[in-house]
Structure 1
Amino acid sequence: MRRRLTLLVTATMCLVLVAFLVPLAVLVRTVAADRATASAATNIQGLVAAAGTAPPSALGPAAEQVAATSRLPVTVFLASGEVLGTPVGRSTAVELAARRSSSLTVSTDAGREIVVAVQGRAEGTAVVRTFVPTAELTRGVARSWLVLAGLGVALLLLGLLVADRLARTLVRPISELSAVSHRLARAELTARATPDGPPELREVAGALNQLAGRIQELLTEEREHVADLSHRLRTPLTSLRLEAEALADPAEAARIGAGVDSLERAVTGLILQARRQTEGSGPGGCDAAPVVRERVEFWTVLAEDTGRTVTLDLADGPLPVRVAADDLAAALDALLGNVFAHTPDGTPFAVTLVPGRPGAVLTISDRGPGLPAEHVERGASGGGSTGLGLDIARRAARASGGDLTLRRGDTGGTVVTLYLG
């Protein structure tokens, strides 16, 4: 935008300067020619007065003196045919002035010829002639044109400077608004724009700040609702935990207690995630390897109860990803929950975690009948499912800069790949 404004002002300035300087340059040349012509006519006025009465013996020296003073050729043509002063031939203008007894100024390629008819002599009309060459007509014009060109360049540079400053005052607030909007898009909800620039831009900045404040208020309300719901769930969770501990079968009590612990972690994760979103912090990060290992070990217990074989393949070394540990655990729980919900008992599944560029790639594959395609869309799944599991995993992947893909395996079943940034 700054460049376009500068180009617009440049084009406008050029048009104005051309419209102003070209006629002025023509006027300067005309004035210079008229000045030289008037000066030559003034120089021969004394000789014109003497040509009516003075004898030829006096006119010759007088013409030569005027020519020497003006540095222009001066000639007196008498009706008798005698030529006094600078010797030149009779031109058409001289013949015409003698015949009509009138003064003429004739322009030629070489300059201007000035002829003045003088009456009063006994032998007839005398003609006084002088000639102004082109060099004399254009004396000082080139210098004047250079001055005008310099003035035009100076005005153009001044206009460009003013245009650049004006464009900067417009572009800078717009750039700040753009930067603030990008910060808001990155969930930096504390970002605010400084009202600056023209009234329209200040109004936009104020509206953007109001929008950011309203978004922050809505997220705060959402966090409070989630927190309230989560705290309401803690009471029945506590009751479930007490009932599990009261079971006579220790294995059954441990299994139910583990389920209660998992649900409590999910609730706590919801609270933390809502707080992070409200405070405008980033998605966080973690080492994916221990999180995946811990969640697979948790689901392995249920897999053994349902006759499933679990294969875990973790790459060596830490695998840092831009996903919070709770979010990654929730995503993996959702995907493994889909495996248990949509495959018959005894169906084996595998979990693979390998390094990615960047981050890591998490793959969950099974040998079941395959997940219906409608599971890809949230809330569009059949079989009594809401489709939230895939949506949770997809949001976790996209929050880190990655994505989720779903395809059918080469040997049947479903392969879900989670690309973590």
Structure 2
Amino acid sequence: MRRRLINSTLAVVLVVIAVFGVSLVIVETRTISSSAQESVDSEALRLVSVVDSRTLANETINTQVLNEQIDPKRYARIAIPGRPVMELGVKPEGTVIKGTATGERGESVLVEEDRSTVTKEVGRTLLIIGAVALLAIVSAVLLAVRQANKLASPLTDLAETAERLGSGDPRPRHKRYGVPELDRVADVLDSSADRIGRMLTAERRLAADASHQLRTPLTALSMRLEEIALTDDLDTVKEEATIALTQVERLTDVVERLLTNSRDPRTGSAVVFSLDEVVKQQLEEWRPAYRSAGRAIVRSGKTGLKAVGTPGAVAQVLAALIENSLMHGGGTVAVRTRVTGNQAVVEVTDEGPGVPPDLGARIFERSISGRNSTGIGLAVARDLAEADGGRLEMLQQQPAVFALFLSREAGARRDPERTTTIR
């Protein structure tokens, strides 16, 4: 493209120079020739006028007097009746320019000039025109190269940007070129890059969340199926199968919840539900894992609480907190329910070392973890809580105390606080 732009611009300039240059040469040549002829004719008239005036005044007429009236480069022949012919200058050889004039008393004057003077003048004019044409060509080439670079380089950049987008690199370049049409294309590509970047981020986030959130119910389901495989008691099989079906339902709910959040994290189906049932479900689900680790999980606080939210999402939040205490905490894990204002609060704490001081409030950021874990669980839990209009906070670092705040039903009962322990 760059070469085509340069060639086209140069072709236009050459055509213009050829048309106007030839015309200018013809006009200048004729002008110089006419001017030389007029000059010779004018000099002949002037000489005959001088001769005529001196003859009328009976003044001396000789070559010395007339030499002062003629250009030294020219030749003049003066004929006066009754006198010898006078010649001034050197008679030129070859082609000449002639000028003649006749006086009132029969005097005749012939002035000649070598045409080489006209040829030299025409040559100088042609040289000037050629220099101007050459300068115009050089300027045109430089301008064409500049314009070609100005147009070709942005197109190359835009092609590279489009190629990067196609190869999965959605970073916008935010580069503009001062050409409205090209800048418009750059704006569209940058907007597309932003959209593709958001889509890729959402897909990666969904994949990471799914791998993390599905791990717990799949592990619980696997444990129930192992219990079924190891027992011959029909009642035990039925009981474990019922629990396994519950796990399958929860697994389905987790998948639906993840898909819903990937489309719009604020879309939820909040209802009034029993907080006791969700807490009880989580305690029963995590009891085997804690028992295997030689640890206990304790339930305390107010019972009979109602909360507004999505039971599946609340269960996932509690599962993330309980799993976090199992992996990073120590000793007994306490799940406590309480009321503050018009909110129901579920606290999860343990007797471990707590959250490292350097993490602090960053514990809820993605990929932030105190140990070798994904750092996704608490971030997803906070997103789920906020999607239901609640919030998840860390109330204390050492030992770690996490609290889930949910809106209460307007007519929630105010039962006295009592404690239940499950080991």
Same fold (TM over 0.5): no
Per the normalisation by structure 2, the TM-score is 0.45
RCO (CA 8 Å, sep 6+): is it higher in 1 or 2? 2
Per the normalisation by structure 1, the TM-score is 0.45
Which has the greater radius of gyration? 2
